[in-house]
């Protein structure tokens, strides 16, 4: 079992570095040790220390839980991504950074495919919009109850690093080779309902509601354009499906050559994830089954697309 874990760790580390880079040189740089000391560890003559494994996990994006868990029968591991930041804003930034790290890792690989089955609008589609992203952050702050939510989104100050992370998240998502969205037919309803609720509590102003409505209509127009064109840009395909089956959560699956991860949405904007091949295959199969019970409205299904867009506009118009 010990040798099996070491071999899998070495194999995973090789997958995480560019093909033209030497593994021993990379580990020597990360661990700040001589190459001979690295080779002794790679040959199994000396064990990696816990601190060394933790550092490699951090620098190379390796899930040690997954490697250890795969050698235990009938066990799979999920990363709950527990937040350790001292404030709601820091926790929020941690979450956004984690999503950014995933997309940074997969975005430039031509084999990358991203699947999301959701009854809520994916944040990656509207993270670059000022008022919609502010509203999402406002809701997170309010739910955590750590600091008073501003009564006006217009006056709400957002750290520049968060604004930049929002924009980069949107850009990175659009650079993936293939993206598939499977949506509930009332995808805008939940967000519109939340906006109304926050307005009724006077946590946002009526002027904020007007701006949010404008951005939702802009987003709907972008979705219409993307669904007709079928791509974000050249060779960056995007497909929209409308599900005939209800699903109770948001399921995401991301894969590229030698890498796959499944994500389940929890605690409003966070998610737990697993790189277990078994879990990833189950997640992929589940999303594929939803596709079979859905209608493709990108580059086809014109009548269904028009009806869907009209229905979403009617929902937005209730603001």
Q: What is the pTM of this model?
A: 0.75
pLDDT digits (tens, 9 = 90+) for 266-313: 766 777 777 778 888 888 998 898 888 899 999 888 999 999 999 999
Res. 92 pLDDT band, cuts 50 70 90? confident
Write down the architecture of domain 88-316 according to CATH: 2-Layer Sandwich (3.30)
Which regions of the chain carry the CATH code 3.30.870? 88-316
pLDDT of residue 1: 46
pLDDT of residue 149: 65
Just give the CATH number of 2-69.
1.10.260
Phi-psi region of 116 (alpha: psi -120 to 50; beta: other; left: phi over 0): beta
Which regions of the chain carry the CATH code 1.10.260? 2-69
Mean pLDDT, rounded, of the chain: 85
pLDDT digits (tens, 9 = 90+) for 126-178: 999 999 999 998 888 887 776 566 678 988 888 999 999 999 999 999 999 99
């Amino acid at each position: 079992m010990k040798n099996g874990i070491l071999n899998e760790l070495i194999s995973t580390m090789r997958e995480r570095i560019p093909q033209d880079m030497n593994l021993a040189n990379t580990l020597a740089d990360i661990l700040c040790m001589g190459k001979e000391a690295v080779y002794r560890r790679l040959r199994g003559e000396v064990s990696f220390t816990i601190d060394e494994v933790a550092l490699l996990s951090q620098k190379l994006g390796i899930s040690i839980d997954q490697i250890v868990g795969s050698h235990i029968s009938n066990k799979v591991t999920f990363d709950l991504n527990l937040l350790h930041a001292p404030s709601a804003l820091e926790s929020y930034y941690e979450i956004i950074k984690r999503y950014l790290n995933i997309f940074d890792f997969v975005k430039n690989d031509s084999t990358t495919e991203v699947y999301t089955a959701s009854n809520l609008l994916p944040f990656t589609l509207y993270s670059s919009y000022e008022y919609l992203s502010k509203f999402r952050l406002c809701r997170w702050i309010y739910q955590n109850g750590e600091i008073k939510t501003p009564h006006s989104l217009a006056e709400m100050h957002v750290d520049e690093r968060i604004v930049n992370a929002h924009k980069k998240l949107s850009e990175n998502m659009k650079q993936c080779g293939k993206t598939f969205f499977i949506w509930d037919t009332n995808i805008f309803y939940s967000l519109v309902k939340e906006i109304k609720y926050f307005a009724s509590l006077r946590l946002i102003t009526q002027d904020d509601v007007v701006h949010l409505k404008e951005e939702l209509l802009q987003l709907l127009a972008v979705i219409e354009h993307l669904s007709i064109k079928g791509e974000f840009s050249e060779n960056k395909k995007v497909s929209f499906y409308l599900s005939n089956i209800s699903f109770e959560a948001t399921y995401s699956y991301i894969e590229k050559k030698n890498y796959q991860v499944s994500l389940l949405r929890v605690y409003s904007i966070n998610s737990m994830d697993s790189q277990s091949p078994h879990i990833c295959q189950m997640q992929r199969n589940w999303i594929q089954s939803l596709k079979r019970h859905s209608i493709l409205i990108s580059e086809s299904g014109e009548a269904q697309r028009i009806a869907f867009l009209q229905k979403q506009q009617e929902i937005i118009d209730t603001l």
